[in-house]
Structures are given as C-alpha cells and as structure tokens.
Structure 1
Amino acid sequence: MADSPTPGQCDCGAIAGPLGLCVDYYHGILAAEQADPQMYRWHAPVVCAYLLQHPSRAHEKYLDSQFRQLQLYVDKGLDALLRVAAHQVARNKHRAQSSYDMAPLAAYAPLPQGGSPGHFRATFCGLPFKDGSFVSDGHPAYGRRIEIIAEATVESWRSVQS
C-alpha cells in the first residue's frame, strides 16, 4: 500500500500543483466538461485514471472494470472506449439482467491485487491550467495529456506484484 501523503502531497504521490491536489484538478475538469462537449469526450478515461490513482476515493468493486477500460483506451484509443461505453448505455436502456457486460473487456488483465502502486509518472496535478482552462492550447493537446495520465496509470498498476 502507498504511504500516507504528507501535507501538500496527494495520495497518488504527486505534489500539489497551482490548483491544489489532484482532487481539485479532478473537480475542475468535471465542471469544465459540463460546458465543453469536446472536452467531455475524455470523461471516461479521466474518471477511470483518477479513481485508479486514488483508489481510496473509489468503490473497490468497480476498480477492476475501470482498470480494464483504461487498458482498452490505451490499447485502442478513445473511439473504441466510447463505443464500449455506448454499448453499456444501450444495454442499460434495455434493462439487461446483468448490469455490466464485461465481454468487450475480457481480453484485458484484471486489476492486480496487493494494493495501489502509490506512484505514477503522470498525474492530474501536472495538468496545465492556463487562462482559466485545461484546453487553452486545444482539445487534441488536452486529450494527449489525458492519454499520458492513462498510460502512466496502467503502467504503474501493471507493476504491482500479486
């Protein structure tokens, strides 16, 4: 398990950035997504990466599927992840008996047991926030930064020994 963070340090190991800890960046992103449909496209990888980097803020029973979704995103990209998400929404509208179809994620490794890695080479505290925006240099640049955070999250979780 990760050590307890010191003041000014996030539980993912990151040092607070200009907006504060990762939770402050996360809430800022979620608020900004509400006004920016292009930014919202990265909502699923943002949520999965944040919760996997901060599992104490997550529901443990969902972390495995979030890890698999993040692996799909890193492996096949945003459009593939959005297709899987749309499939899940369609299933829910038809009141499927099981709440989540794991078949699209079956090829991906389960969440390693043994606790959170506690350190990630890229975190939310490192996201630039300029001119009151996470996307001041464009949506593609923002998307690439989210992809880097996702890659770092998957990489660190894969390093956890079972």
Structure 2
Amino acid sequence: MVDSPVVGQCECGAVAGPLGTCVDYYHAILSEEQTDPRMYRWHALVVCAYLLQHPSRAHEKYLDAQFRQLQLYVDQGLDALLRVGARQVARNKHGARSNHGMEPLAAYAPLPRGGPPGYFRATFCGLPVRDGSFVSDGHLAYGHRVETIADATVESWRSMTPGAS
C-alpha cells in the first residue's frame, strides 16, 4: 500500500475531505456500488479517473488505455464508453486477446510522459456524502459529479502535452 505524500493530502494534491483521502472516497464508492447497482453506470469513469489521479496505486501498463477511455468518454459520452466496455467484456469471454479490443481507442492520444499532473480541478475528496451516501441527491447528480472528475482528469493530463487542447 502506498502512503499519501502528506498526512491529509492525496497524491493528486487534494486535501482530505470528511471521509479522509481520495482512497477512502474510492473505497466508499466501490462499496456503495455493491448495494446500489444504479451507481455502477459510472464505475468505469470512477476507476479510470481515480487511477489516473493516483497512478502509484495503478498498474502502469493499463494507464494508457484508461486515459484513452476517459478521452473517448469526453469525446463521445458515457453511452459510447459503456458500449466499448461491453464489447471488451464480450471479446474477453470469447478468448480474443489480440490488442484487447483497443481499436475504438486507437484514435485517442496516448498517456503523456512525465506525469502525473500536480493539480486536478475536481477530485474524489470533493465529492459530497450525505447520510452516508454519494447518491442521496439522486443518481444523475452523482453522475454529473463523477463526469466532472473525469473531465478534470483528462484536462490535467492533456495540459502536460505541449500544444494539446
């Protein structure tokens, strides 16, 4: 397990929130997804954004694909990302190992070198939790907050590439 660089501060630069650091929020989200399957719609965004904001907790070989998945989301939306994910799961069930179904992600920029960025305008520590839930004000509101974190993650990584938008 990797410790946060500063007590009360995350690798992503965020200050701890009421639940603790981002890893505490991440585990709480994953736990709540188990009791609220409607939250699962945003699971891929949660995982990709969390690992890209905290790459020391990720397997380095997957970060590029996770960055490309977030770019696909930013470009085409959540439904497109879910379709690609479903296609990858289906391919894996049939034993297709070539390129792991990366064709839909090939058009997107690779993960920039020299990261991670030092700042993300939206992080997991900023997620509101009410009555022990991330969805107490509705699933769409939760989804918008997760999407904001995903957008901020792509934005910060892209800013590391000269001339990137």
- Provide the TM-score with structure 2 as the length reference: 0.93
User: Which residue of the partner structure matches residue 133 of structure 1?
Assistant: 133
User: Which residue of the partner structure matches residue 148 of structure 1?
Assistant: 148
Cα shift at 1:97: 3.2
1:128-150 deviations in whole A, cap 9, x for unaligned? 00011000000000000001000
1:36-72 deviations in whole A, cap 9, x for unaligned? 1110110001000000000000000000000000111
Q: What letter corresponds to residue 96 of structure 1 in structure 2?
A: A
Aligned residues of 1:92 and 1:99 also touching (Cα < 8 A)? no
- Provide the TM-score with structure 1 as the length reference: 0.95
Question: When the two structures are aligned, how many residues end up with a matched partner?
Answer: 159
Structure 1 segments of 4+ aligned residues over 2 angstroms from their partners: none
User: Which residue of the partner structure matches residue 57 of structure 1?
Assistant: 57
In structure 1, distance between residues paired with 2:89 and 2:6: 40
Aligned residues of 1:45 and 1:146 also touching (Cα < 8 A)? yes
Larger RCO (CA within 8 A; separation ≥ 6) = 1
Instruction: Let me know the Cα RMSD of the aligned residues.
Output: 1.2
Q: What letter corresponds to residue 107 of structure 1 in structure 2?
A: A
In structure 2, distance between residues paired with 1:44 and 1:99: 19
Aligned residues of 2:134 and 2:142 also touching (Cα < 8 A)? yes
Gaps of 5+ in 1: none
**Is the deviation greater in 54-63 or in 88-97?**
88-97
In structure 1, distance between residues paired with 2:14 and 2:80: 29
Aligned residues of 1:67 and 1:111 also touching (Cα < 8 A)? yes
User: Which residue of the partner structure matches residue 21 of structure 1?
Assistant: 21
* 1:3-22 matches, cutoff 5 A: 5-22=5-22
Aligned residues of 2:49 and 2:153 also touching (Cα < 8 A)? yes
1:95-148 deviations in whole A, cap 9, x for unaligned? 113261111011111100112002100000000000110000000000000010
In structure 1, distance between residues paired with 2:24 and 2:87: 31
